[in-house]
Amino acid sequence: MCGQNMLDIEGLVLRRGRRLLARRIDLRVDRGAFAYIVGPNGSGKSTLLRVLAGFGRPEEGVIRWSGRTIGEWGGAYRGEVAFLGHLEGIKPMLTPEENLAYRRLLVGPTGWRVPTPSPFFDASALPDLPCQRLSAGQRRRVSLACLEHSAAPLWLLDEPLTSLDHDGVAALGGLLARHLMAGGTAVVASHQPLPPTLVPATVLELGTKR
């Protein structure tokens, strides 16, 4: 039915406040594949990713990860997910490497993985300054460096290409490809076109009249 590292969404209804965003979402993402979510602003892409991350419970519909619903996973689900949202999730007063060390403390030794052979996003290559003094693109690179060290199998990326330069976009392509190759799964929402090396297994369009 639903194997290891497989995401299966059935009949999910998305609401933000009282507004209905999506009537019925059915989506299945296999191990080693990723789904690409597109849609106009306000169509519920971020809401979908937040629900998948376990921030709030869906009113209707079932989300299964590796055969179990999020409710059945309980607290253990938190170790399965890496989430990159609109906010970078890094502390502005810490340097890039201190941010990496802090994230390592948060996820614990089992959730942490040193990228091999070499990282796509190298925090030590960034200026050794508090992140509030870095550019938006550099801060995003810190955030992606944290993501790269995550051992979580399910990656939820909300507009990951924001403020990245050409090299950064290519590096993200490499990073995601490596994650999928290792048997991971990902859901990516983005307005910008993905690097051509990345071919999504599924494209989900939100906000279209059906």
Partner 1 sequence: MNGLLGAQLRMIYRARGDYLAPVIFYVLVASLFPLALGPSPRLLSLIAPGVIWIDATLASVVAFAGLFRDDYDDGSLEQMLLSPRPLELIVLVRVFAGWVSLSLPLVLLAPLLALWFSFPPPILPVLLVSLVLTTGCLTLLGALGSALTVGLRHSLVLLPVLLLPLATPVLIFGAHAVLLAERGLDPRTPLYVLAALFFLALALIPKATAAALRVALEV
Site for partner 1 in 145-174 (CB under 8 A): none
Stretch that binds partner 1, among 1-9, 43-51, 168-176, 191-199 (CB under 8 A): 43-51
Question: Which residue, 54 or 168, has its beta carbon nearer to partner 1?
Answer: 54
Pick one of 1, 18, 41, 105: the residue that binds partner 1 (CB under 8 A): 105
Pick one of 90, 134, 176, 204: the residue that binds partner 1 (CB under 8 A): 90
Q: Does 79 bind partner 1 (CB under 8 A)?
A: yes
HSE-CB at 145 with a 13 A cutoff on CA atoms is 25
Going across the sheet that includes 60-65, the strands are 19-29, 7-16, 60-65, 68-69
Stretch that binds partner 1, among 55-63, 166-174, 184-192, 201-209 (CB under 8 A): 55-63
Q: Does 103 bind partner 1 (CB under 8 A)?
A: yes
In whole angstroms, how close is the CB of 12 to partner 1 at the nearest point? 12
In whole angstroms, how close is the CB of 57 to partner 1 at the nearest point? 8
Pick one of 35, 82, 175, 204: the residue that binds partner 1 (CB under 8 A): 82
Q: Does 207 bind partner 1 (CB under 8 A)?
A: no
Q: Does 94 bind partner 1 (CB under 8 A)?
A: yes
C-alpha span between 15 and 22 (Å, rounded): 7
Stretch that binds partner 1, among 24-32, 90-98, 175-183, 192-200 (CB under 8 A): 90-98
Question: Which residue, 23 or 197, has its beta carbon nearer to partner 1?
Answer: 23
DSSP string for the chain: ---TT-EEEEEEEEEETTEEEEEEEEEEE-TT-EEEEE--TTSSHHHHHHHHTTSS--SEEEEEETTEEHHHHGGGGGGGEEEE-SS----TTS-HHHHHHHHHHHHTGGGB---SS--SS-GGGS-SS-GGGS-HHHHHHHHHHHHHTB--SEEEEESTTTT--HHHHHHHHHHHHHHHHTT-EEEEE-SSPPPTT---SEEEE-S---
Q: Which residues bind partner 1 (CB under 8 A)?
A: 16, 47, 50-51, 53-57, 75-76, 78-79, 81-83, 85-94, 98, 101-103, 105-108, 110-111, 130
